Chains A and B, each alone.
Chain A
Amino acid sequence: MTIQAARPAPTLTTSMGGERMTVAIGGGWTIHASREMEDLLIALKPGVSGFVTIDMSGVTHLDTAGAWLIHRLQGDFEFKGSRVEFVGLSDKFKSLVGEIESHHPPTWKPRIRGRSIMGLLEATGRQMVEIGKDVVAVCHIVGSLAVVLSGILVNPRRLRGISVAVQFDRSCIGAVPIVALMSFLIGGIISQQGGFYLRTFGADLYVVDLAGVLVLREIGVLLTAIMVAGRSGSAFTAELGSMKMREEMDALHVIGLRVTEVLILPRLLALMIALPILAFIADLSALFGSGLVTWAYLDIPPQIFMQRLNEAVTLETLWVGLLKAPFMAMIIGLIACVEGLKVSGSAESLGLHTTLSVVKAIFMVIVVDGLFAIFFASVGI
């Protein structure tokens, strides 16, 4: 017994004898030679003749693919009005041919995919409906969060402290090194770029104002939120999505637990505590990076940096940045959970919704940041 014994190639020869056409089939008719078999059959155009004999005595190997093709050939002849008979079918193939004859796949139609202006409109319409459904889904979750929260106010023990702590550990403590490193680099880059530009005006020292205000009000919290959306938001979606795929959500339901209470609230709370802390750490390390770069490149010693920073920023500047963090965290968490709950049975949809979760969260974080900028400007901060 060898792996690939030489397989005889399929053969097909036709001969005419008066009214009768004889098709002699031979060799190996198996799935391994599908292309050859199909080519042989395409070359043979069933003509109109009264009687056809299919001679199978030369067939050495036969499997379902070969048997099906021969069966199809018989069908083609009969469709043209010929009478078909088989000769020379060896005993060992009889049960196989019988098996094939007892099943009739429907006639084959190629699938056509329509592409038109209507299709484009339809897709746009569907997208709009999807967006509408998203909004409803977010409202739904917010509503059920409100119910759960009011329950917790009445009975604080229903708050799952341990879950919140575990989620906090994953989304905050675990993120500290990368957030700190990223902010350190950004702080350094801002000072370096800004510093050289300001130096041409002889206004080197104002780089401290630039970095201080920019980092504390905007960059620190925004970059942290983006990092958290990529890190924790995608994790939430993937976790909830795969739980949904494996019916774990349904199990929670029938045991009488609320998904919002058990899964969503702890994640959301943890994220809302984590993001301000991370943003604060990001602010500190960005200012540290900025201080180092101004010292090294612009020869501004740390004492002067600190003094200038004191004049440039107030506690209010810091609060303006940190105030945004819990809102951004809520948006990231909500979008992640909504997307997670939308995952359907397939692995593909899990991937799709994880991607969507991150993209939507980052987009919304930036939109919210803009709204906050308008708000702060109008209240004069």
Chain B
Amino acid sequence: MREAGEQALKPGQRSEIEVLKARGVTVGFGDKLVLENLDLDVYRSEILGFVGGSGTGKSVLMRAILGLVEKRAGKIEVFGEDLDKTSPEERAGIERRWGVLFQQGALFSSLNVRQNIQVPMREHMNMSQRLMDEMALLKLEMVGLPRDAAEKAPSELSGGMIKRASLARALALDPDLVFLDEPTSGLDPIGAAAFDDLIKRLRDALGLTVYMVTHDLDSLHSICDRIAVLGERRVLVTGTIDEMMQVDHPWVKAYFRGERALRRAEQDEV
């Protein structure tokens, strides 16, 4: 459980406690290494934006942290526990404290949205059906889905609705750490802005730590406290958006000071 007093950090005030700490992580498929000797820290109650070109391994790193992909070397600590050394009970305790939004949503296709949100509650908690139903609808509202979406099957949802429903499931147990893989891709700009706003409000209200893979320059500018850039099989740089503007690496430069980025910056100034 998060300790009292740490629940709401004021903006700008950064906690120095690492929620996630990766050291020397190496992941490969066949004879091709996707990540090599990668280090990464994520601090409590921050929103970390994770960027990198398509196919550089952002999703693979997230899956490696979650234990879905075998890593060849390295150490990953979550909530101060080395994930390779935890007992099954400790592991279950950690799993209860994180929530994941997969790139494709990964809703259970044979359950409707309400039941999807209730899966973690049903499996991990002892709750009455009434409270579970109320909590599911509450989470649904919080992520901005209409009420009638609750009884819909995942195949009946639009792409953006799948993202939201999947976020509602990730938030079902009020996790301390959420992994979001491209949460705003495929959303309209208004919807994406509302999604960003939602993540920020949740962070402020619940003290969430957010690990967000995104290509959305608007999200990076508006809500991310810190940005990490993945390239050349490792984390190239980390820092605030202003620090990113100073970096000289060609890819980072093209990303943050390319034509699209500059157009955005101009709009900001207007």
Report which A residues bind B (CB closer than 8 A): 1-5, 7, 28, 30-32, 34-35, 38, 60-65, 68-69, 72, 91-93, 95-96, 98-100, 103-106, 108, 110, 245, 344-349
Contacts and interface: CB of A to CB of B under 8 A. Distances in A.
Interface in B1-31: 1-5, 7-8, 17
A95 B110 contact: no
Contacts of B109: 245, 345-348
A103 B133 CA distance: 14
B81 interface: yes
Among all A-B residue pairs, the 3 with the closest Cβ atoms: A345-B155, A348-B110, A105-B137
Given A1-B79, A5-B1, A108-B134, A35 B7 contact: no
Given A106-B137, A245-B109, 20 more contacts: A3-B94, A3-B97, A31-B127, A34-B126, A38-B131, A64-B135, A64-B138, A65-B127, A68-B135, A72-B134, A98-B205, A99-B142, A105-B134, A105-B138, A110-B130, A344-B155, A345-B156, A346-B155, A348-B109, A348-B110
Contacts of B201: 95, 99
Given A38-B127, A63-B174, A32 B1 contact: yes
Contacts of A38: 127-128, 131
B66 interface: no
A93 B126 contact: no
Contacts of B17: 1
A93 B3 CA distance: 13
With most chain A CB atoms within 10 A of its CB, the pick from B17, B90, B121, B125 is B125
Contacts, number: 111
A152 to B, nearest CB: 34
B258 interface: no
Contact of A7 (B1, B79, B147, B155): B1
Contact of B8 (A65, A92, A103): A92
B154 interface: yes
B204 interface: yes
A68 B1 contact: no
A268 B35 CA distance: 46
B80 A92 contact: no
A61 B142 CA distance: 20
A98 B202 CA distance: 11
A31 B125 contact: yes
A103 B174 contact: no
A271 B8 CA distance: 66
Interface in B191-238: 201-202, 204-206
A61 B205 CA distance: 13
A34 B135 CA distance: 11
A68 B206 contact: no
A106 B147 contact: yes
Contact of A28 (B1, B93, B141): B1
A110 B90 CA distance: 35
Contacts of A72: 134
A348 B155 CA distance: 12
A320 to B, nearest CB: 46
Interface string B109-152: 11000000000010001111111011101110110000100000
Contacts of B261: none
A91 B131 contact: no
Given A31-B125, A69-B131, A345-B156, A91 B138 contact: no
A171 B118 CA distance: 42
A61 B8 CA distance: 12
A350 to B, nearest CB: 9
